[in-house]
Amino acid sequence: MKQTNPTKIISLVIVMLLQTYAFAHGSLSARIAERTNEIANSPNNAKLFYERGFLYQQHKEFTKAIKDYNQSQKLGFDDSIINFRKSQSYYYNDNFQLAEAEINLYIKSNPSDVKGLKLFAQIQNRLENYPEALSSYWNVLINTIDIRPEDIIECSEIALNVNPSNYDEPLKIIDFGLNKIGSNTITLLLKKLDYYKFSNQQTKSLELYNHFIESVNRKEFWYYKKATYLVEINKKNDAKIALQQALFAIDLLNLKVENAEAIINLKTNITQLQKTIYHE
């Protein structure tokens, strides 16, 4: 049976993604043109200007979006969602003062809406009002049912902005996310590992490395990562053991997997790290 070339598969996937992206933007352009024709026939229709503004926003033409939103309001569109959309457009255009003014209007009408509170937090973060940003983002995390790992991480990074030398609050936020989303959420565990390492919590860092090793079937990469960290903290004898464990894990692989490019590169990295340890 003829094997499929992995390179061809990757190339095909890339082409398909580019086509999808081009289609999405092409579709938006067509819809913008359609709304433009409708506006030409109904130049006083506030809703059409709002709809075209949102299409411009999705097309990342934020200045045009804001212009349409303003015209929509001038014609009488008074739904508070337009304040939220204007705030988003100002935010993506790096005009944080105007973004703040619009999101404040939206929150005044929708005080418990989490998407408004999140955007408010992001704006305050860019304005370097870190405590206010953190307080608002905590409200988002607590009141959002289907919170995303990216939101947890963003909030933890804002907490670090509040006090760059204190990792207690960022770690508290990560733990909150692990409890709410799932204790094995890999992106959150990786961020937790970063925070442990940055704050020089060596024992907890190694415990988390061991957790990764124990929880996966393919352990060779994690043994190598652990060894690299052990070298960083000057525990070279322990690093030697971890590298031997990595090589043993590789020996357990079947020949096809062992000859894969990723494993060959890993073995090269292991050899180089061993040389570094023994030559120091």
Identify the weakest region by mean pLDDT among 154-163, 210-219, 270-279.
270-279
Listed in sequence order, the residues at least 6 apart from 64 whose beta carbon sits closer than 8 Å to its beta carbon are 53, 56
CATH number attached to the domain at 22-90: 1.25.40.10
Two domains, one topology: 22-90 and 112-199:
yes
Mean pLDDT over each residue of the chain, to the nearest integer: 92
112-199 fold:
1.25.40
CA 171 to chain centre: 17
The predicted model gives 105-128 an average pLDDT of 97
Could you read off the pLDDT of 30-80 as tens digits, one per residue?
999 999 999 999 999 999 999 999 999 999 999 999 999 999 999 999 999
**pTM for this structure?**
0.84
pLDDT of residue 26: 62
Break the chain into its structural domains and give their ranges: 22-90, 112-199, 201-280
Q: How confident is the model at residue 258 (pLDDT cuts 50, 70, 90)?
A: confident
The predicted model gives 241-268 an average pLDDT of 94
Q: What percentage of residues in the chain have a pLDDT greater than 70? A: 90
- pLDDT value at 4 more than 60: no
pLDDT of residue 280: 56
Q: How confident is the model at residue 278 (pLDDT cuts 50, 70, 90)?
A: confident
Angle between the 149-162 and 114-126 helix axes, to the nearest 10 degrees? 40
pLDDT of residue 17: 47
pLDDT of residue 48: 98
Could you read off the pLDDT of 192-247 as tens digits, one per residue?
999 999 999 999 999 999 999 999 999 999 999 999 999 999 999 999 999 999 99
The predicted model gives 16-42 an average pLDDT of 76
Higher pLDDT, residue 255 or 183: 183
Tokens describing residue 84: 């939220």
CA atoms within 13 A on the CB side of 56: 23
pLDDT of residue 21: 47
From residue 35, give the alpha-carbon distance in Å to each of 47, 246, 248.
10, 60, 64
Higher pLDDT, residue 258 or 24: 258
Tell me the C-alpha distance between 38 and 30, whole Å: 12
pLDDT of residue 22: 45
- pLDDT value at 23 more than 60: no
Tokens describing residue 105: 């209007």
CA 205 to chain centre: 22
pLDDT of residue 196: 98
Tell me the C-alpha distance between 18 and 15, whole Å: 5
Answer for the pair 96, 126: CB distance below 8 angstroms, yes or no.
yes
